[in-house]
């Protein structure tokens, strides 16, 4: 069942989203060669608590950290560790928090130092795929319309769509209905209406897009070990239109 939020609930979720966006900006600025993902995780937890919020991912389905740090071919849910990031790597930072009983969730992929032009093109395509999905999201369209928009753009760029993972509704729970694939057919799936709040999160790869569970049973990585990027925003459909809650 899709939970419809009131304007008051959306305002609370906007406060949570603004906190999360500011925290993510600070974490992005810490990404550089020589930094460990364990360090980024500790910084994330400290920042979340400093805002009077709580980490959303810690102990969620056994996840042992605050921040998901997915390096290179790891698509999502990478567990932070003491391995130093290297020049030319990319790292996806996925962070959620709980504020006043409501969740917020976002993700970005960040280059580590100087990366190859094709990697920059992959990152740019991930950002644009999310932007196009958000632009499509409004009352009266379907989630299939959004998925179709994202899929067509990504495949036109020559990249692969991860189809085994998807976006989701969000509110008093981290994951609510509906599930939101990054592919689909126009006119299919639930219709978007005022009061819906959900996360769009394109995950795209340089390869085919097939994934497998990592050895730690937490992360997902590409089967062909191709590089992957992940971008995510929490958005709301309100009487004022579509609002990106995790964007300052």
Torsion angle, CA of 8/96/137/164, rounded to 10 degrees?
Answer: -140
- pLDDT tens sequence across 195-219: 999 999 999 999 999 999 999 999 9
pTM of the model: 0.96
Percent of the chain with pLDDT over 70: 100
| 248/212 Cα distance (integer angstroms) | 34
The residue ranges of every structural domain in the chain are 7-244
CATH number of 7-244: 3.90.230.10
Position 240 pLDDT exceeds 90: no
Model pLDDT for residues 160-198, shown as the tens digit of each residue: 999 999 999 999 999 999 999 999 999 999 999 999 999
Half-sphere exposure of 85 (CA within 13 A, CB side): 28
Tens digits of per-residue pLDDT, 25-76?
Answer: 999 999 999 999 999 999 999 999 999 999 999 999 999 999 999 999 999 9
Give SS3 for 236: strand
> In the predicted model, what is the mean pLDDT of residues 122-150?
98
Q: Please, which pLDDT band fits residue 11 given cuts at 50, 70 and 90?
A: very high
């Amino acid at each position: 069942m899709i939970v419809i939020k009131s304007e008051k609930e959306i305002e609370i979720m906007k406060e949570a989203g603004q906190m999360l966006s500011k925290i993510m900006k600070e974490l992005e600025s810490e990404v550089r060669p020589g930094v460990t993902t364990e360090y980024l995780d500790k910084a994330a937890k400290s920042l979340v608590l400093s805002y009077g919020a709580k980490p959303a991912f810690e102990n969620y389905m056994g996840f042992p950290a605050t921040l998901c740090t997915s390096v290179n071919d790891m698509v999502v849910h990478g567990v932070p560790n003491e391995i130093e990031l290297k020049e030319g790597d990319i790292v996806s930072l996925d962070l959620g928090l709980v504020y006043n009983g409501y969740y917020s969730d976002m993700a970005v992929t960040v280059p580590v130092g100087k990366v190859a032009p094709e990697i920059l093109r992959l990152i740019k395509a991930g950002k644009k795929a999310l932007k196009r999905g958000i632009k499509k999201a409004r009352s009266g369209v379907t989630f299939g319309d959004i998925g179709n928009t994202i899929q067509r753009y990504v495949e036109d760029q020559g990249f692969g769509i991860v189809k085994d993972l998807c976006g989701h509704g969000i509110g008093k729970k981290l994951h609510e209905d509906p599930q939101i694939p990054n592919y689909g057919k126009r006119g299919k799936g639930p219709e978007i209406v005022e009061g819906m709040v959900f996360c769009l999160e394109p995950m795209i790869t340089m390869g085919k897009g097939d994934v497998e569970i990592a050895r730690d049973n937490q992360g997902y990585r590409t089967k062909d070990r191709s590089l992957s990027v992940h971008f995510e925003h929490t958005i709301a459909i309100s009487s004022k239109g579509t609002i990106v809650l995790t964007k300052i």
